Chain A
Amino acid sequence: MLSVRNLHAAVEGKAILNGINLEIGPGQVHAIMGPNGSGKSTLANVLAGRDHFEVTAGEVEFRGWDLLEMEPEIRAREGLFLAFQYPVEIPGVSNLHMLKAAVNAVRRHRGEEELNAMEFLKLIKQKAALVEMRQEFLYRSVNEGFSGGEKKRNEILQMAMFEPRLSVLDETDSGLDIDALKIVAQGVNSLRSSDRSILLVTHYQRLLDYIVPDFVHVLAHGKIIRSGDKDLALELERKGYSWVEDHAGAA
């Protein structure tokens, strides 16, 4: 699904990712953990194609394509989804309107019939129920005046609408109370299947109690310094990030 090889990236001349290697197979769930400022969001944004991050070396293959050559919207239409750490507000544009335009842009790209208003409404109501989002939120402007938790849930609603091949969730768990966390996890789990993959970026292992990953990686200073299975997250939780950093330094 996704193959990241020796990826280096910089922002405003400052190196942030220093050689990331990551292989995500179909159906797998990977978690990336790491202290603040270690480069987790940078990795997520580089994958999505944000242009103020400059890729200075390395390559990324996504479903057989050279991902780094693709425009952000093409990546999205080919099934790469990013749930943003800080979802953006778009005043004046309703959630419903934006999603309909976007879903149909994706369908056009894939040579599928566009959904008409009725079909779309039926689909989105079904997905909104999945993340327990009240329908009034569909008619409100995109993320405007949403609480932190509501924004995150809106990201998962969008993810459910697109049914992406690879979902990158950037700290979707932070700022959520336990009930909201369960709802988000339930939404994500419902998408798990043998042909979809998920990359969870998180600061805490709490989320991993609900979405159990196949692999856990620890990111520090723009490098994956350790990989393991879900037990690594628990160990990390107990011993703190300094433990792996020290180890990485010693190794």
Chain B
Amino acid sequence: MQGTEKDLTALVQREYKEGFTTDIEADTLPPGLDEEVIRTISGKKAEPDFLLEWRLMAYRRWLEMKEPDWAQLHYPKIDLQDISYYSAPKQKKLLDSLDEVDPKLLETYEKLGIPLEEQKMLAGVRVAVDAVFDSVSVATTFKKTLSEAGVIFCPLSEAVKDCPELVHKYLGSVVPAGDNYFAALNSAVFSEGSFVYIPPGVRCPMELSTYFRINAMNTGQFERTLIIADEDSHVSYLEGCTAPMRDENQLHAAVVELVALKGAEIKYSTVQNWYPGDENGRGGIYNFVTKRGACKGKRAKISWTQVETGSAITWKYPSVVLEGDDSIGEFYSVALTNNYQQADTGTKMVHIGKNARSTIISKGISAGHGQNSYRGLVKVLKGAEKARNYSQCDSLLMGSTCGAHTFPYVEVRNPTAVVEHEATTSRIGEDQLFYCRQRGLSEEEAVSMIVNGFCKEVFKELPMEFAVEAQKLLGISLEGSVG
């Protein structure tokens, strides 16, 4: 059986195709963090006072906080004074159109398969893209179509200038500045991110998408995304991410806040493919992310779908606070850990309003020495009559050196709640692979078929184009050099 185990391991090796670096002149702050750095970041962005004050308040809160250690994750302490908190590709002036963007940047995104040229986009899929390169937003495509619908989709730094009242009202309203160690750090130093506002009754005419890229060495990426769906509006949003291959670990501590007002629906999908480190566990992104949505009004709905294949470490719990009566929260997740990757991910569903429903579908795939933990909390408050939750956590193991763990927590303070939890663990066995091969499928085809079968409940939640993308990505992550 020894040989079989080795074969399986070989099968799950892969190359990271997005690992190139872009040689571009950057305006980078020296490493280190203090109030002065925060003032500088805020100054570079010519921010209003309220924002600087908010950043400083977050920083002071952060100083009093401790890095969380409850997750099933093992990594050396991150030296936060060794990181640069701002890096921007050097650009002479503000840009009006894509023609003025540094061609090297456009090339980078082209290589990543992110179409920034509206011309090309018009011929194909209707997706508006906001691309964030290190700390700044490079281009937002399709601005015109969106503004005709009244949709605001722009870099957060631009929203701060163009609609400060919206930013002031909602920034930190779902994830407060002092929410947790990494969220506080982000609040203090966040450099860029996307802002979305959908007006009442509007169905956003296209998928919105942000593409994050960490390029510079020894920088952290601290983007902050704020999405507001006003009453009875609808938006579908996709986030993708990659980073170059580097031997050092890079920190990514993002915050995403979603606000869904009465009758509004937000669908947020992530395909996370940060550099996972090499097969010996060297390098890779440390991904410490706080994502939370609030269903503020009646019948509001927030749905998180994530496909996490990258990062050396993933610490991420996209959550929904179900304040409105009849509101709906959903979490669909595929997390893959290979080689020495570690993921501790899951969700929190907090039931406050009446008749709110939540669904959790989590699929963890572990291969190599990967460690995959699901951590979820279903909390039903006293007044949350007739709360309903269904959770399903499935783990798929390949080989015998990886691990899967589940930590489902349930806190129910209302007797009318119905909370269901199911969990399974299975293994891709040599016998399954042989069975498929005897029917004429190659080993790679067999693995990919089994893994995709395992994930299909989640993939069907992704917008079509991205489902195909995710399927391919998972294929690449598991199929070694094939594909």
Contacts and interface: CB of A to CB of B under 8 A. Distances in A.
B441 A88 contact: no
B5 to A, nearest CB: 11
Contacts of B3: 51-52
Nearest to A72: B437
10 contacts: A49-B437, A73-B443, A77-B440, A88-B434, A90-B432, A90-B435, A92-B453, A98-B441, A102-B440, A109-B440
Given A92-B450, A93-B449, A97-B453, A52 B440 contact: no
A192 B430 CA distance: 32
Contact of A93 (B437, B438, B440, B450): B450
A91 B438 CA distance: 18
Given A52-B1, A88-B432, A92-B454, A72 B449 contact: no
Contacts of B99: none
B436 interface: yes
A171 to B, nearest CB: 16
Question: Nearest 3 A-B pairs (CB), nearest first?
Answer: A92-B453, A93-B453, A102-B439
A76 B439 contact: yes
A171 B450 CA distance: 27
Given A52-B1, A102-B440, A72 B434 contact: yes
A84 B435 CA distance: 8
A109 B438 CA distance: 14
Given A73-B442, A88-B431, A105-B441, A98 B436 contact: yes
Given A73-B438, A76-B440, 9 more contacts: A52-B3, A76-B438, A81-B438, A84-B438, A91-B454, A93-B449, A102-B439, A105-B440, A141-B453
B118 interface: no
A73 B441 contact: yes
Contacts of B442: 73, 105
Interface of A: 48-52, 71-73, 75-77, 81-82, 84, 87-88, 90-94, 97-99, 101-103, 105-106, 109, 141, 158, 162
A104 to B, nearest CB: 9
B111 interface: no
Q: Is the interface of B mostly helix, strand, loop or mixed?
A: helix
B158 interface: no
A57 to B, nearest CB: 20
B333 to A, nearest CB: 16
B445 interface: yes
A62 B65 CA distance: 71
Which bracket fits the contact residues of B? 20 to 34
Contacts of A90: 432, 435-436, 450, 453
A154 B244 CA distance: 48
B4 A52 contact: yes
A162 B431 CA distance: 20
Most chain B CB inside 10 Å of its own CB: which residue of A81, A87, A97, A102:
A102
A67 B440 CA distance: 15
Given A88-B431, A101-B449, A73 B437 contact: yes
Contacts of A51: 3-4
Given A72-B437, A102-B441, A105-B441, A97 B449 contact: yes
A61 to B, nearest CB: 19
A92 B438 contact: no
A91 B453 contact: yes
A66 to B, nearest CB: 18
Nearest to A89: B432
Given A88-B431, A92-B454, A48 B438 contact: yes
